[in-house]
Amino acid sequence: MNTLVGSRILIFSAGKPADKMALRLQRSGAFVKALNGQERDVLPLIKRWHPVLLIITDWTVDMAPWLNELLSLPVCTHLSVLALGADDEAHAMSALDAGASAYLADTVTESVLRAQIGTLLKNGHHWENTEVRQDPYIWINPESSRIRLNGSEIRLSRRLFRFLHYLALHPDRTFTASEIANVLSDGQKFIQENSVAAQVHRLRKYMEAAGAGEWLETVHGFGYRLTLPQKISFDVKLS
């Protein structure tokens, strides 16, 4: 499976913007936010968006105390960190000692960078483990494989559970049939795009039993999206 697909990655740069890196990762299926700013801007975005990987570009030794403090916070317990900077031992050791999961010289090839990102995502807290909870409307617990909508528990197959969980992590985002097929098949291409509509129909029927069928919308000509009740959609929106 391509571990980039569906992963939330935050790229932080205090220097030159990392827009090109962000675009390449997005094209590989990741959800990416590129933050060009100050160190103090990182924590609020982590709290709001819950990335599984933080990539720090232009690493300097002076950033070590900040990273060490950041990773001591509960919200960063499952956060993997990749630091990119100068090709020397002092920079590498300062990042690793501060808690970075890995350090690479910023001159590495694209293939090496992607391989390292893939390894960190594979070993990290992937989106499948992220709970969605906004009582009394929606609760999705991956650990117990349980779902409640409007206070009523519904039972889904593993495939449909994965589908609804993924949509709930990205409310109001429209996904194409191709993107949904990849989610349903767990990246293994077992689901054809022309069967996505049938899977959506099945999921909507289960949701209707809990009075939530209208949350799963068909966006004609584009795909499908999950629209939560307006007063909670802002709280759970992750991308």
Enumerate domains of the chain plus CATH numbers: 8-128 (3.40.50.2300), 158-236 (1.10.10.10)
Mean pLDDT, rounded, for 130-149: 90
Q: Report which listed range, 77-86, 206-215, 224-233, is most confident.
A: 206-215
Specify the residue for token string 């317990």: 77
Determine which helix (DSSP H) or strand (DSSP E) holds 98, and give its type and residue range: none
Which tokens hold the place of 21? 């890196």
Angle between helices 158-169 and 196-208 (to 10 degrees): 80
Looking at per-residue pLDDT, the higher value among 188 and 228 belongs to: 228
Distance CA 220, CA 8 (A): 27
Q: Cα 164 to chain center, whole Å?
A: 15
Which residues touch 60 (CB under 8 Å, ≥6 apart)?
Answer: 85, 91
Does the predicted model carry a pTM greater than 0.95?
A: no
pLDDT in tens, 152-206: 999 998 889 989 998 998 888 898 888 888 777 654 445 677 789 999 999 999 9
Which tokens hold the place of 161? 């559970």
pLDDT band at 230 (very low <50, low <70, confident <90, very high): low
Distance CA 95, CA 102 (A): 8
At 238 the pLDDT is 44
At 82 the pLDDT is 97
For all residues of the chain together, what is the average pLDDT?
Answer: 87
At 153 the pLDDT is 96
Closest residue by Cα to residue 52 from 4, 2, 107, 114: 4
pLDDT band at 90 (very low <50, low <70, confident <90, very high): very high
Number of H helices, E strands in the chain: 9, 11
